Structure 1
Amino acid sequence: MELRQLTALVTVAEVGSVTRAAQLLHVVQPAVTRQIRSLEEELGVVLFERTHRGMVPTAAAEVLIARARRALHELDRARAELRPDPAQAAGIVSVGLLESTTDLLVPPLSAQVARRFPGVELRLLTGYSGHLQEWLDDGTVDLSLLYDLSDTPSMAVTHLLREQLWAVGPPGAGLDPGSPVGWAEVLAHPLVLPVAGHGLRVLIDRARSAVPREPDVAVQTNSLGLQKQLVVAGHGWTVLPAAGVAADIAAGRLGGAPLDPPVERTVVLGLQRAGRVPDAVRAVADLLVEVTAGLVDAGAWPTARP
């Protein structure tokens, strides 16, 4: 199994076309076809099906593609780290971000990385905490924001901040950031909630359990963006971290208010314990802690405290 074969496999899977893959790899189309065919012969499986939608990976191919991407990523990182100046952090760093934090964190973090570590290429992936933890465990991301977690044998955790969850409704719902709202009022409305098992949903269910009333769940989704869209469209209220809705409330797209009693989550930074942490990963992790602390100190992260 050769590097060029894996590169061809991943490229065809991403673009869905041998012709387009050959253009991107700057080789002739028959060369890509030969590389895919030789892989199939070596492994004894079919890797792609030709359909009207293009080249579609088979189930066997999906298994190989996931591992090939990881291998190619590690080789890219090794090339970047074999640099003339060992004191200058460089390489590819994949960062997992909670979706509710992206508006706040991405602009200052990316700007600071570009200014202080120009040799570092950032790759930003968003998801909810459960997926992010899986990605950290399997090496898809090098470091990740998570919440309500402590150190584990495989992961070192740095606690960053605590932030409040808010009740969120459409603009005319009468919600006021200066007037906390109780769960009885929240549960009187249809709700748009994260899917069962989502870490935020677990926190919501635990907090509202003191009120003897089952929620009227109108829609469940694993997307913060969809939660907000559905609330704007009038499908119900929701509960989200204040940081994820502050801009929408300020712009009048949504209404929001703190919950009473307060419901908080702890945002942490997770790093794998296994193996040596590359200089570039350590540099970005330290910078992420610094940027987050700066946002909290400046009052730019709504409701957050260290």
Structure 2
Amino acid sequence: MDVKQLNALLTVAETGSVTRAAQLLHLVQSAVTRQVQALEDELGVQLFERTRTGMLLTEAGSRLAETARHVMTELERAEAEVRQNAGTVQGIVAVGLLESVSDLVAEPLVAQLARAHPQVELRLYTAFAGHLRQWLYDGILDVALLFGITDPSAISVAPLATEALWAVAPPDAGLSPDRPVPYAEVARHPVIAPARGNGLRTLLEEVAARAGTTARVAIETNSARVQKQLVAKGHGWAVLPAICVADEVSSRTLSMAALDDPDAQRQLVLAMPRSRRRSAATEVVARSLVALLRDAAGDGRWPSVQWQAAQPSGKAT
């Protein structure tokens, strides 16, 4: 098993076609076929199902492809670090961002690093907290913004901020940012919520339990943007972190107010794997990320937040 074979496996898996994979790899089709067959012969398993619609990974192929992605990523990281010039911060950094935070920091982070450290290659991933946490465990991510960390044994975390949850309603609901609303008022309406297993859904259920009621979930969607769209059209109410509705506070496309529950909040943390040595590039990216969030909390772009980190730092504890 070698790097060329693993690269062929991944390219065929991503394209679903040996012909297309050969074009991308600048090889003849027979060479790609030989590399895949050599892997199958060596491992004694079938890695692809050859169908009329394309090449589909088998269960064994999916497991190998997942490992191969990790191997190729680590090799790319190692190559970037080894080639680093003295005095230059260089390398590949994979950053995980919660969907709710990505609009606030993704573009500013890219712009800041392009100016200060152009040799740092960013790979930005957006997902829900559970997925980001798993990707940290699996070594896919170097650093991530998370909430709801209950078992930090495999990752190190540094608390950044505590963020309030808000009730989000249609424009004519009459909610006001300066008048907190009890969850009982939210419960009087159909609730548009994330699916079970999502961290925000868990927070919603905890809020409902403290209020002595249950959330009457009418629609489930794992997209805050879709939640806001449905709320704006009058299909129900939602409970979202304040950062998700920052733009709508001034545009008045929604009606919103903080929940009248001091425990209705989530804690945002900076998380990194414990098992991996942190490169200079990772430290630079982490510090930049924290500084951007701190500035947003200080200038009002991030509403209803209590900043906790003493100063920007890439070093989680």
Shift, 1:234, TM fit? 3.2
Contact 2:205 2:214 in 1 (8 A): no
Shift, 1:254, TM fit? 2.6
Q: Tell me which residue corresponds to 1:105.
A: 105
- C-alpha spacing 1:49/1:252, structure 2 compared with 1 (3 Å): farther
- TM-score, length basis structure 2: 0.91
Q: Which one is further off, 182-191 or 80-89?
A: 80-89
- C-alpha spacing 1:90/1:84, structure 2 compared with 1 (3 Å): closer
Shift, 1:152, TM fit? 2.9
Matches within 5 A, 1:97-136: 97-136=97-136
Instruction: Point out where structure 2 has 5 or more consecutive residues left out of the alignment.
Output: 308-317
Contact 2:194 2:200 in 1 (8 A): yes
Does the alignment pair 1:175 with 2:172?
A: no
Structure 1 residue runs of 4 or more that deviate by more than 4 Å after TM superposition: none
* Deviations 1:148-181 (CA, angstroms, capped at 9, x unpaired): 4378332221111111111112223322222221
Does the alignment pair 1:88 with 2:57?
A: no
**What is the aligned residue count?**
306
Contact 2:145 2:270 in 1 (8 A): yes
The code of the aligned residue for 1:271 comes to M
Contact 2:163 2:305 in 1 (8 A): yes
- C-alpha spacing 1:233/1:55, structure 2 compared with 1 (3 Å): farther
Does the alignment pair 1:237 with 2:237?
A: yes
Does the alignment pair 1:29 with 2:29?
A: yes
Q: Return the alpha-carbon distance in structure 1 between the equivalents of residues 93 and 268 of structure 2.
A: 20
1:305 alignment partner, SS class: strand
* Deviations 1:277-297 (CA, angstroms, capped at 9, x unpaired): 111111111111111111112
Q: Return the alpha-carbon distance in structure 2 between the equivalents of residues 84 and 261 of structure 1.
A: 51
Percent identity between matched residues is 49
Shift, 1:83, TM fit? 2.0
The code of the aligned residue for 1:305 comes to Q
The code of the aligned residue for 1:296 comes to A
Q: Return the alpha-carbon distance in structure 1 between the equivalents of residues 108 and 84 of structure 2.
A: 28
- C-alpha spacing 1:60/1:253, structure 2 compared with 1 (3 Å): farther
Contact 2:246 2:301 in 1 (8 A): no
The code of the aligned residue for 1:186 comes to V
Contact 1:151 1:157 in 2 (8 A): no
Matches within 5 A, 1:1-306: 1-149=1-149, 152-262=152-262, 263-306=264-307
* Deviations 1:7-27 (CA, angstroms, capped at 9, x unpaired): 011011111111111111111
Q: Return the alpha-carbon distance in structure 2 between the equivalents of residues 84 and 241 of structure 1.
A: 40
Q: Return the alpha-carbon distance in structure 1 between the equivalents of residues 84 and 250 of structure 2.
A: 48
The code of the aligned residue for 1:85 comes to N
Contact 2:297 2:305 in 1 (8 A): yes
* Deviations 1:237-269 (CA, angstroms, capped at 9, x unpaired): 111111112224433433221111242211110
- C-alpha spacing 1:151/1:87, structure 2 compared with 1 (3 Å): farther
Contact 1:150 1:157 in 2 (8 A): no
2:89 alignment partner, SS class: coil
Q: Return the alpha-carbon distance in structure 1 between the equivalents of residues 222 and 205 of structure 2.
A: 15
Contact 2:84 2:90 in 1 (8 A): no
- C-alpha spacing 1:230/1:54, structure 2 compared with 1 (3 Å): farther
Q: CA RMSD in A?
A: 1.7
Q: Return the alpha-carbon distance in structure 1 between the equivalents of residues 117 and 253 of structure 2.
A: 37
- TM-score, length basis structure 1: 0.94
Shift, 1:133, TM fit? 1.1
The code of the aligned residue for 1:283 comes to V
Q: Return the alpha-carbon distance in structure 2 between the equivalents of residues 175 and 52 of structure 1.
A: 56
